[in-house]
Copies of this chain bind each other. A is one copy, B any other.
Amino acid sequence: MSLFLEVVSVSEAVEAIRRIAPPPRYEEVPLEDALHRVLARDVAADIDIPGFDRSTVDGYAVAAAETTGASEAIPAMLRCQGRIGMGSADAGTVSPGSCRYVPTGGALPRGTDAAVMIEHAEQIGDDVLVHRPVAPGENVVFRGEDFAAGKTALTRGRVLSPRDIGVAAAVGADRVSVAKRPRIGIISTGNELVAVADTPGPGEVRDANSYLAGAFVTERGCHPVYFGIVRDERSMLKKAVASALEQCDAVLVSGGSSKDERDNTAAVITELGEVLVHGIALAPGKPTIIGTAGGKPVIGLPGHPASAYVVLVAVVDYLLAAMHDTTVSRRTIRARLVQNISSTRGREDYVRVSLKNGEATPVFGKSGLLNTLVQSEGLVRIPASSEGLEVGEEVEVILW
């Protein structure tokens, strides 16, 4: 057995990991619990929204044609035929030469097709002086103009934002069908690991990866299930992975993913199923494993948290999105590089950068330092085909 990994490209790894994503299951949830969930079925308007011609201002409902040419100097004069009550079932009819006061959201009476803002009119007794003309439809939303009955308001696969939730409410979706939160088993392996509440002795470190991976999958709408720290013994790791597979939809194992003799993850996956990828042309993050067992993905992450996090962002994110039947939605911004970054051709490099005033500065210090995770705002990806990026270049920063 070679000591070296046979690496695949990042795009091959992403393709492999998407292919093994188990299809999502669905559930109905009350709309108020649906924030950030992934919509499983289109949401359509049940009726015309709005259900009637509606003013968007406080003012006077008018026939627009009767305001043509109105000005401060020569206002149009209309007779005010009272006031429209909010929510009243019938806004009535306005006769030619007349208007009616309408509050924001009120229904337009028959005979009118626009609303004059109260700021642009003056009421004197029963007369209303209109100082500015309005066009037909001005300050009005017509029946069905927002969403016609049956029209799709929100498409499946959408991660529901607060605005989406508001729109779903408007079109009557008090319950929505969403992808169930996948359960992701999380295991850390390594003889050097101690629990976070413990004080590491010489040669020991705390298990940061369980928390890091747990928070990452939570942020992406999954439910983390923690299986704790497992020592570098194949039988123990196998037992832990098998147990996680029983309870979860996918399993992340951090540590033991390289080819050192203490590394058991690949062997355990092979015993339980199949290793598809062992090694990705990615820095940091090369010792990564993509496998399946019992139809469920089992992913081996590098033991170092900074490397593990790059793999979560660059590769695992695509698995979690596919498990929700949605796409990875990344926030990226463009920034100017303030210093050269060299890179190795044939390998996709992810360089941590801090951002300020549109400038991206590579974070100094060794990539193995955890503190780079909190001192950087994002990652600059250097494609495998490139030998580096030059100062002054505009780069895309993945905000992480």
Seen from chain A, the residues whose Cβ lies within 8 Å of a Cβ on chain B are: 3-4, 31-32, 35-36, 46-47, 49-52, 54, 56, 58, 85-91, 103-107, 118-119, 139, 141, 145-147, 153-154, 160-174, 190-193, 195-197, 199-212, 214-216, 218-219, 224, 226, 232, 258-260, 262, 287, 302-305, 309, 331-334, 358, 366-371, 373-374, 399-400
Contact = CB atoms under 8 A, between A and B. Distances in A.
Nearest to A168: B211
A35 B215 contact: yes
Contacts of A154: 374
A22 to B, nearest CB: 23
A214 B89 CA distance: 29
A153 B371 contact: yes
Identical subunits present: 2
Contacts of A106: 192, 203
A58 B258 contact: yes
A260 B191 contact: no
Given A35-B218, A162-B216, A219-B35, A172 B206 contact: yes
B211 A169 contact: yes
A384 to B, nearest CB: 18
Contact of A208 (B4, B85, B89, B167): B167
A215 B211 CA distance: 26
Contact of A85 (B56, B91, B191): B191
Given A303-B104, A369-B141, A202 B169 contact: no
A171 B166 CA distance: 41
Given A167-B371, A170-B208, 12 more contacts: A32-B224, A56-B304, A87-B192, A88-B203, A146-B369, A165-B214, A166-B305, A166-B373, A167-B373, A169-B212, A172-B206, A334-B358
B89 A203 contact: yes
A83 to B, nearest CB: 9
Contacts of A90: 202-203
A47 B89 contact: no
A54 B171 CA distance: 58
B334 A192 contact: no
A205 B105 contact: yes
Given A163-B212, A203-B88, A303 B197 contact: no
A399 B215 CA distance: 23
B205 A51 contact: yes
A32 B214 contact: yes
Nearest to A255: B105
B304 A164 contact: no
A202 B305 contact: no
Given A147-B371, A191-B85, A205 B50 contact: yes
A11 to B, nearest CB: 21
Nearest to A198: B172
A289 B366 CA distance: 51
A309 B170 contact: no
A47 B86 contact: no
A172 B193 contact: no
B211 A32 contact: yes
A365 to B, nearest CB: 8
Contacts of A332: 333
Nearest to A173: B196
A209 B168 CA distance: 11
Instruction: Specify which of A36, A173, A197 lies most central, judged by the most chain B CB atoms within 10 Å of its CB.
Output: A197
Contacts of A333: 332-334
A4 B58 CA distance: 11
